[in-house]
Amino acid sequence: MKIQFTKMHGCGNDYVYINGFTQLIPQEKKADFVRFVSDRHFGIGSDGVIFINPSKEADFEMEMFNADGSRSEMCGNGIRCVAKYVHDKGLTDQTRFSIISGGKIKYMDLTVENGVTTLVKVDMGEPILQADLVPVKSTNEQVVDEEIQVLDQTYHMTCVSMGNPHAVVFWDDVKNMDIEAIGPYFENHERFPRRTNTEFVEVTDRAHVSMRVWERGTGETLACGTGCCATAVACVLNGRTDRHVTVRVLGGEVIIDWDEKTGHVFMTGPAEFVFDGEIEY
């Protein structure tokens, strides 16, 4: 079976995108397909695979898989790329539309120049802070600056869900940290019933932070859109930044606004095509 695909990235967070309107892969085969495609040595190479499907609830559906074949509810960089894909490839001529992922509808606002999408602003909705909904095991209703024991060390984390779980840990020197040595232990810690994405964040000033991320099911990635959102929320909750924050990741910058009136988090960032191709599966 030959499958057509598009490789895209948002700040280096790269996925393989499949047009689910025309490329039909049986649901029971998708996890194996994703593992095959995502392999950077024997496949195409990516942080995962995203299927762009028709939807009755929204204009489009984003069906996201991590590189290990597990499902994920939301991907901030991924949803921006889906928005660019459906517009620039002619699935819609609108610059404002909706995408559903993991049962949650998000709204896109595209900046288009000469028919090409250059930036995508996403209304990510309100962050989820209730511990059992993140989910994270805690005796507190919310997990803000709470201790966690990892590898016999004590860290402080703030937990946020942006449709998927995040643990934000403030760090003094993210550039030189050994994320490979600690990331997996956060991801699979017993306090996270569905595992977690972990953001290690260094605050520069009230409007700028640097972040590295360990994503569940994938490992370190160059960016994580929902992680940028969670980072900004955690920074505000801990009094470290204002509500407008530029998050510097390894692959670029994402701008986050946590609107005080609506409580919604808005994410603005780039989305880029890499190449189109066809793979035998």
- Catalytic positions, please? 75, 224
Distance between CA 69 and CA 31 in Å, rounded? 4
Helices (H) and strands (E) in the chain, counts: 4, 18
User: Tokens standing for 147?
Assistant: 């201790």
Residues in the chain: 281
Burial class (CB in 10 A: 0-12, 13-18, 19+), 227: buried
Distance between CA 221 and CA 47 in Å, rounded? 7
CB-based contact 96:109 (threshold 8 Å)? yes
User: Tokens standing for 70?
Assistant: 């597990």
DSSP summary character for residue 128 = B
Distance between CA 223 and CA 183 in Å, rounded? 15
